[in-house]
């Protein structure tokens, strides 16, 4: 247990709307120093886009169930829109997906995930689950930083030219 105290205590605070003071690579470098090989491998395997819920950690299973439910709700809504039908969305999602352009919607969905992770963090302090949640937040920030409107517009224009 004590191996987590030092690792967690040295991690900088993460904010959704700011670039992190630590990279994912730096996080892994520190984790490798202090964690057991098994714990380190578990961190290495963590991928925010993986919704398979067979994780050994209860917190991670809870997050993956949340992510899976979120994706199922969104997929059902999108299928209904494509077929011209009306799909019911949970209230927390309805306000997110019906307002704004696709980039803003994606940012809001990332923020929803962030808030869910923060809610789970309240129940943990210096255990392995904190490191898992921290890494999920770093992955969210990495995805958020990958949004570049100029590059996106260039790709969009190129796709539109090809399809004409």
Mind giving me the DSSP string for 93-113? Answer: HHHHHTSS-HHHHHHHHHHHH
Q: What is the pLDDT of residues 3-38, one digit of tens each?
A: 788 889 999 999 998 999 999 999 999 999 999 999
pLDDT of residue 158: 77
pTM of the model: 0.86
3-class DSSP assignment, residue 22: coil
pLDDT of residue 53: 65
pLDDT tens string 43-75: 999 999 888 766 678 999 999 999 999 999 999
**Cα(113)–Cα(20) distance, rounded to whole angstroms?**
17
What is the Cα gyration radius of the chain? 18
pLDDT at position 1 is 53
First to last CA, the chain: 60
Residue ranges per structural domain of the chain: 2-67+114-163
Q: Are 137 and 18 in contact (CB under 8 A)?
A: no
What CA–CA distance (Å, rounded) separates 80 from 69?
17
């Amino acid at each position: 247990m004590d191996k987590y105290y030092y690792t967690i205590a040295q991690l900088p605070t993460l904010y959704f709307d700011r670039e992190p003071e630590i990279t994912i690579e730096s996080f892994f470098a520190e984790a490798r120093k202090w964690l057991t090989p098994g714990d380190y491998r578990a961190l290495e395997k963590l991928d925010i886009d993986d919704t398979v819920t067979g994780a050994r950690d209860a917190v991670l299973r809870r997050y993956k169930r949340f992510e899976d439910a979120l994706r199922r709700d969104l997929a059902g809504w999108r299928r209904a829109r494509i077929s011209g039908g009306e799909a019911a969305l949970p209230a927390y999602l309805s306000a997110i997906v019906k307002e704004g352009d696709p980039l803003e919607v994606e940012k809001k969905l990332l923020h929803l995930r962030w808030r869910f992770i923060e809610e789970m963090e309240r129940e943990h302090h210096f255990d392995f689950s904190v490191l898992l949640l921290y890494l999920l937040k770093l992955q969210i920030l990495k995805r958020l930083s990958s949004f570049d409107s100029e590059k996106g517009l260039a790709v969009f224009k190129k796709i539109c030219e090809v399809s004409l």
